[in-house]
A and B are shown apart, each in its own frame.
Chain A
Amino acid sequence: MCLAVPARIIEKDGDKAVADAMGNRWNIRITLTPEIEVGDIVLIHAGYAITKVDEEEAQKTWELFEEIAAFEAERQKVKEGEV
């Protein structure tokens, strides 16, 4: 339950914001991290940014998600008998 996903803040309006992770966008709250600015990368948990993280840290997670997605796609193909 305590998983968190890094995403970049692309819009900000009061304590609401739009965040982007690998092209996926969603509305989040930045109530817990009022110092956040557009362009910052945050960890998102249950719809709330909980802290700012650095680019390098976020990049590692995004790459991992890509690997998992590629793996899942591959597995699906095997399941469907395409490979």
Chain B
Amino acid sequence: MLQRIEKARKTIEAICETVDKPIQVMEVCGTHTVSIFRHGIRSLLPEKLKLLSGPGCPVCVTDQGYIDVVMDLALRDDTIIATYGDMIRVPGKAGSLESLHRNNVKVVLSTDDGLALAKKHPDKAVVFVAVGFETTTPPSAVAVADAAKEGVDNFCILSGHKLVVPAMMALLGTKNDKIDAFLCPGHVSVILGSDAYQPVVETFKRPCVVAGFEAVQMLEGLAKICQQIADGKPAIDSVYGAAVTPQGNVTARKIIEEAFEPCDGAWRGLGVIPGATLKLRDKYDQFDALKRFGIKEVPTEEPAGCQCGQILCGLLDPPQCGMFGKKCTPDTPIGPCMVSTEGACSAWYKYKQR
């Protein structure tokens, strides 16, 4: 193991010595962001390899307007809100779900638990807070299909599901784009398959390398990226062993496709990205919280002074935000990147900016 780490590190170092300007690699996945800090990866890298934390934490990219809609739904007497624990502390305009202290807000571990709540409380509408990328989307799709099949009419989801690849494309399309390559998410790629990054490589000629979450995998992934840049041959590659295949989990993708369709939706900091959010297909109208409660529009808002948007685009490091570590800490978070344990700000804070 140590030999592999050392070999990867040497490759990175040797290539970085030959380049004029730093190589900037964006890790797209929030779980990578945390792993990079936890393993002290930055301390092993030469100055000329800079890691940027991307829009890969589902909590962080969820627009404040979405949170506000969830809060409004939570304040009704005819609802139960079922949510993954990650979302409970994210502040909207009027506080967080946690700060409401209402017993109709339930933390669940899976969509099945949400559906079970609906069966247990037929007099309430159970709203599942459906956030996340291609990893959490299939369970939402299955839950809706199950609810339809079993006639659980009081179950619905508020879809804030997001697609990773269109967001990567949108980042590269901006004039502020300073991303040389992507370290692609491990588990999202299990579902998507590594071939999904083809548009990024073809259109923008940036390396896309999938890695797992161990130190050695992340370093080997970075070494592959450096090698591709040195050779001038951007390509798709994976160092996540058998878990990630070129075609991904075809069954899971079919299940997503069957229930959801892409639409334009707001990402925190990135604004509205065309085709990068998922909404339920028309046949599932009755399970769509927006339609059930007649919510016409989800507002887009950001907390004042919060730089999460810039941070999510890799344009700023967390300590460059004026509120970081002062007004905004894990105990008193203002932006989502400080709330989520997978957020870049939280990780920087916790690991003392290593």
Contact = CB atoms under 8 A, between A and B. Distances in A.
Interface of A: 1-4, 29, 31-34, 43, 45-48, 50-54, 57, 60
A36 to B, nearest CB: 11
Given A46-B110, A46-B139, A48-B139, A1 B30 contact: yes
A2 B210 CA distance: 14
Interface residues of B, number: 38
Given A4-B187, A29-B142, A46 B251 contact: no
Given A2-B133, A43-B243, A31 B31 contact: no
B142 A50 contact: no
Interface string B135-165: 1101100100000000000000000000000
Contacts of A52: 242
A2 B30 contact: yes
A46 B242 contact: no
Contacts of B112: 29, 47
B12 interface: no
Contact of A1 (B59, B138, B252): B59
A1 B251 contact: no
Interface in B120-145: 132-133, 135-136, 138-139, 142
B55 interface: no
Given A1-B59, A53-B242, A57-B243, A43 B187 contact: yes
B95 to A, nearest CB: 22
Contact of A2 (B31, B139, B214): B31
B86 A32 contact: no
Nearest to A31: B142
A50 B187 contact: yes
B49 interface: no
A48 B113 CA distance: 12
A38 to B, nearest CB: 19
Contacts of B5: none
Contacts of A51: 190, 243, 249
A33 B245 CA distance: 14
B187 A33 contact: no
B242 A34 contact: no
Contacts of A3: 31, 187, 213
A33 B190 CA distance: 12
Nearest to A16: B112
Contacts of B110: 29, 46-48
A24 B239 CA distance: 29
Contacts of A48: 110, 138-139, 142
A32 B255 contact: yes
B255 A31 contact: yes
B255 A2 contact: no
B240 to A, nearest CB: 10
Nearest to B35: A3
Interface in B74-121: 84, 86, 109-113
The 8 closest A-B pairs by CB, nearest first: A47-B110, A32-B252, A2-B187, A51-B190, A1-B58, A2-B135, A2-B31, A48-B139
B317 interface: no
Interface in B241-256: 241-243, 249, 251-252, 255
Given A1-B57, A1-B342, A50 B251 contact: no
Contacts of A32: 138, 142, 249, 251-252, 255
A65 B214 CA distance: 13
A4 B133 CA distance: 14
